[in-house]
């Protein structure tokens, strides 16, 4: 469906859509013949919704493709991720609400530890706390590069972001993170000719940073990942006629939300805050993105039981959503993170769409296998928003 055609069909109303994202929801059985995390979890509320809802599986990017966090979410927000590439640096900058300008290049920074030979021995600098990170970012504020302004801002724990501003910059620069320990970080190298100036600036930044961090015990090095320019993305308001709000605890997800023009509700620390915010802001918006991170985190830890517990926490949160009587509720994930793989994966993700006008299928339980029997089969993640719009009566008839 082209943007132009869809736009012509939009019908604004005050019906409410809630998109509840359990990050990394999809999983795998830990042993042959076993159940996945979601199938193992006790989820009475989600099961009841599934029984009343339309179910299926979705692929955020494509067949066999493992989505990063940003592409996984962009798909759920209605943007085919291959058409809207978003680099890690931009996601980080948006996450902390840094006001990026056109032409800026952002890059994610990890504080790291190197030994005397310059080899990286800890890619996370002993997971320094956010306060230390913030202090070190101020220290790095002393870096000075002719013709290039640099902003260094803390994100969370050992993670920060640097934004380069100046003429002739480009994101065509390789990561410096070697993705392994026992080896030195790479020098910033241009991927294409237009990246040369940025690579030089990054190199100079790193050189000065090494000096400024010299006396640090753990955070005496930095690694750069995901040089990125601000992409041009039409807002959800423009494309879908929605007034969207993001209720997300983690900075990166607030970042992706900002990219598509959501208003980000600040200061939320957990599901209970999110429930409260839903209540408080219910009248002000008509699309609510509610994000729970920890199913993914526990999946990445390889902790099957803890991931199950996180899914159960979201199940217990469902009544707080239903108390609001949303016109449409979608529950799904942005990608799979099977605990047995300790990583994002390419497996399709279960979803349910619940609303006044959804036509129930024969699925009575929320899980990978039940949803594989759901009426929608396997669909691209980016079309879910169209279903939500339809069930919220926000789309008019096509043609006479």
Q: Which residues bind a second copy (CB under 8 A)?
A: 1-2, 5, 9, 28-29, 32-33, 36, 52, 57, 61-71, 81-82, 85-88, 91, 108, 225-226, 228, 338, 341, 344-348, 357, 359-362, 368-369, 372-379, 383, 386-391, 395-400
Write down the least CB distance from residue 70 to a second copy, Å. 5
- CB within 8 A of 18, min separation 6: which ones? 278, 287, 288, 290, 321, 324, 326, 328, 329, 330
- Which CB atom, from 320 or from 378, has the smaller least distance to a second copy? 378
- Which CB atom, from 198 or from 337, has the smaller least distance to a second copy? 337
Write down the least CB distance from residue 130 to a second copy, Å. 20
Write down the least CB distance from residue 231 to a second copy, Å. 11
Write down the least CB distance from residue 71 to a second copy, Å. 4
**CA 159 to each of CA 244, 327, 351: distance values in angstroms, whole numbers, following the listed order:** 27, 38, 31
- Which CB atom, from 66 or from 235, has the smaller least distance to a second copy? 66
Q: How far apart are CA 107 and CA 58, in angstroms?
A: 30
Residue with tokens 């380069």, as numbered in its chain: 164
33 burial type by CB count under 10 A (0-12 exposed, 13-18 middle, 19+ buried)? exposed
Write down the least CB distance from residue 204 to a second copy, Å. 24
Q: How far apart are CA 333 and CA 168, in angstroms?
A: 39
- Which CB atom, from 154 or from 374, has the smaller least distance to a second copy? 374
Write phi, then psi, for 51 (nearest 5 degrees): -65, -30
- Region for 369 from its dihedrals, namely left if φ exceeds 0, alpha if ψ lies in -120 to 50, beta otherwise: alpha
Write down the least CB distance from residue 394 to a second copy, Å. 9
Q: How many residues does the chain have?
A: 400
Write down the least CB distance from residue 28 to a second copy, Å. 6
- Which CB atom, from 72 or from 244, has the smaller least distance to a second copy? 72
- CB within 8 A of 287, min separation 6: which ones? 16, 17, 18, 19, 236, 240, 242, 243, 244, 245, 262
Write down the least CB distance from residue 88 to a second copy, Å. 3
- Which CB atom, from 117 or from 396, has the smaller least distance to a second copy? 396
* Residue 47: how many other CB atoms lie within 10 Å: 18
- Which CB atom, from 70 or from 321, has the smaller least distance to a second copy? 70
Q: How far apart are CA 227 and CA 272, in angstroms?
A: 35
- Region for 88 from its dihedrals, namely left if φ exceeds 0, alpha if ψ lies in -120 to 50, beta otherwise: alpha
- Which CB atom, from 121 or from 375, has the smaller least distance to a second copy? 375
């Amino acid at each position: 469906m082209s943007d132009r055609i869809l736009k012509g069909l939009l019908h604004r109303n005050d019906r409410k859509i809630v998109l509840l994202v359990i990050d990394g929801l999809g999983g795998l059985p830990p042993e042959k013949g076993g159940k996945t995390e979601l199938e193992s979890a006790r989820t009475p509320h989600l099961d009841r919704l599934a029984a009343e809802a339309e179910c299926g599986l979705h692929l955020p990017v494509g067949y066999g493709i493992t989505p990063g966090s940003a592409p996984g979410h962009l798909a759920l927000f209605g943007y085919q991720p291959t058409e809207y590439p978003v680099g890690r640096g931009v996601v980080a900058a948006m996450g902390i609400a840094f006001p990026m300008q056109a032409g800026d290049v952002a890059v994610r920074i990890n504080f790291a530890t190197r030994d005397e030979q310059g080899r990286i021995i800890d890619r996370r600098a002993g997971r320094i706390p956010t306060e230390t990170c913030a202090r070190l970012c101020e220290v790095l504020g002393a870096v000075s590069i002719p013709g290039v302004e640099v902003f260094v801002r803390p994100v969370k724990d050992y993670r920060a972001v640097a934004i380069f501003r100046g003429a002739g910059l480009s994101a065509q620069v390789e990561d410096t993170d070697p993705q392994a320990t026992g080896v030195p970080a790479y020098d910033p190298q241009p991927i294409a000719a237009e990246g040369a100036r940025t690579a030089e600036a990054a190199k100079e930044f790193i050189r000065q940073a090494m000096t400024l961090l010299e006396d640090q015990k753990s955070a005496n090095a930095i690694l750069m990942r995901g040089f990125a320019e601000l992409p041009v993305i039409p807002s959800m308001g423009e494309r879908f006629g929605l007034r969207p709000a993001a209720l997300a605890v983690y900075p990166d997800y607030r970042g992706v939300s900002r990219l598509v023009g959501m208003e980000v509700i600040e200061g939320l620390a957990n599901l209970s805050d999110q429930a409260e915010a839903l209540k408080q802001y219910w009248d002000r918006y008509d699309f609510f993105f509610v994000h729970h991170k920890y199913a993914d985190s526990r999946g990445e830890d390889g902790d099957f039981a803890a991931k199950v517990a996180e899914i159960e926490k979201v199940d217990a949160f469902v009544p707080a959503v239903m108390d609001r009587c949303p016109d449409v509720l979608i529950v799904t994930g942005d990608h799979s993170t099977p605990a047995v793989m300790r990583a994002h994966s390419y497996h399709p993700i279960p979803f349910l769409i619940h609303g006044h006008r959804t036509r129930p299928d024969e699925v009575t339980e929320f899980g990978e296998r039940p949803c594989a029997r759901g009426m929608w089969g396997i669909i691209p993640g980016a079309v879910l928003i169209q279903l939500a719009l339809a069930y919220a009566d926000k789309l008019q008839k096509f043609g006479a």
